[in-house]
A and B are shown apart, each in its own frame.
Chain A
């Protein structure tokens, strides 16, 4: 059995495996730290900065910082919640997010975070950038208007040789997500679905699908993002006790 270490998040005692990242350990302890670019089983990137926590007065990304014994992590403090909200607002204005006409609406993690933080209007001016939609591959289309550049697709959708189906093209502010044409030509329905589910927003969508869940029945219509974390942990604890 791997070594267990103790630490706290907002004063609550938590247990982590040695070497485990704070975010992963937090979730296992039933504590939700908001994130967008992280994904279970995928190497963390620390790119969205939503999971910023405070350790010894310094902001660190919880997804890439390993737990140390006795560490005191601050997460749900006003300063960080405000920082998180401002990141969410920035993501809304730097893309084109027309939620009423988006296939992912109701199941989108960015939108769900805006709901959780009750974003009524972003504080920044809307950029209305010009972005292309790429519908050239048979199974998927890429709507760059909604891409938040989290790299989840690049890190998670690979062929048997470890080659990524997705890649970034151009740099910095102009960076665009692209799908490898040759690989995409032979993509299975299952992998196409996995790619769509990997994308936290509505930037990767399956063709000939969409709007098939009535409003009110979608993932985040009634339940805020992160609220399912606690029940999962309670189940684990139950199993341990048994």
Chain B
């Protein structure tokens, strides 16, 4: 039997969730014994080269590229997991959801203390190559169907490990009290 194929991505996240995946420490050796990685920052495969079994999503959707990548994952993965608070509810990037987008951009590029130097022409990034920023940050399951949720900021390494083992072996996932946390 061929190994289950796993893909991962970071949308509007901080890569902390991926770091937590690496926090499974030497178990990563067991993991690559039983699964194969496809598109993922971990192996630097940029595009899907085959259909995957499990897609792990870090981060919510803050721009058009995030939406594009998320839909691409839905198309190419049988199971999608929202990993971490950002994917599940927008997380800290969604703190901007109550602030008009113009105010956010003005603060970041025109008025903020770090915007004074280097942007003398007072330009808001407008190159057409750049993804469009969305009106607010969206949880992943409000954009595509998500099958499983692993909360935490980041989710505990043991939670990620146990979830992957459960999916690969087909056994039920046990959730001890200590592993389900929101921070």
Binds B, one of A39-47, A51-59, A78-86, A112-120: A112-120
Secondary structure at the A interface, as helix, strand, loop or mixed, is loop
B55 at the interface (CB under 8 A from A): no
Binds B, one of A93-101, A158-166, A177-185: A93-101
**B contacts with A, residue count (CB < 8 A):** 28
Give the contacting residue for A98; candidates B91, B142, B150, B181; CB below 8 A. B91
- Kindly provide the distance from the CB of A214 to the nearest chain B CB, expressed in whole angstroms: 12
* Chain A residue at minimal CB-CB distance from B90: A126
B85 touches A100 (CB 8 A): yes
Which of A111, A126, A222 has the largest number of chain B CB atoms within 10 A?
A126
Binds A, one of B2-10, B31-39, B64-72, B93-101: B93-101
Given contacts A99-B85, A128-B136, contact A114 B142 (CB under 8 A): no
8 Å CB interface, B110-167 against A? 136, 139, 141-142, 146, 148-151, 153
B178 touches A222 (CB 8 A): yes
- Contact code string B75-93 (vs A, CB < 8 Å = 1, else 0): 0000000100100111110
Chain A residues whose C-beta falls within 8 Å of the C-beta of B183 in the assembled complex: 99-100, 102, 105-106, 215
B177 touches A101 (CB 8 A): no
Q: Can you spell out 26 A-B residue pairs with CB atoms less than 8 angstroms apart?
A: A92-B89, A98-B85, A98-B91, A98-B92, A99-B182, A99-B183, A100-B85, A100-B92, A102-B183, A105-B183, A114-B182, A115-B180, A120-B148, A120-B151, A120-B180, A121-B82, A121-B146, A121-B149, A126-B90, A126-B139, A126-B142, A128-B136, A130-B98, A215-B183, A222-B178, A224-B177
Secondary structure at the B interface, as helix, strand, loop or mixed, is mixed
- Kindly provide the distance from the CB of B177 to the nearest chain A CB, expressed in whole angstroms: 6
B29 at the interface (CB under 8 A from A): no
A131 at the interface (CB under 8 A from B): yes
A19 at the interface (CB under 8 A from B): no
8 Å CB interface, B8-27 against A? none
Chain A residues whose C-beta falls within 8 Å of the C-beta of B178 in the assembled complex: 221-222
* Chain B residue at minimal CB-CB distance from A131: B98
A92 and B178 CA atoms in complex are apart in Å by 20
**A contacts with B, residue count (CB < 8 A):** 26
A224 and B33 CA atoms in complex are apart in Å by 36
A82 and B181 CA atoms in complex are apart in Å by 20
B136 touches A115 (CB 8 A): no
A121 touches B151 (CB 8 A): yes
* Chain B residue at minimal CB-CB distance from A227: B177
A101 touches B182 (CB 8 A): no
* Chain A residue at minimal CB-CB distance from B138: A126
A138 at the interface (CB under 8 A from B): no
Chain A residues whose C-beta falls within 8 Å of the C-beta of B153 in the assembled complex: 99-100
A105 touches B182 (CB 8 A): yes
Chain B residues whose C-beta falls within 8 Å of the C-beta of A114 in the assembled complex: 182
Chain A residues whose C-beta falls within 8 Å of the C-beta of B1 in the assembled complex: none
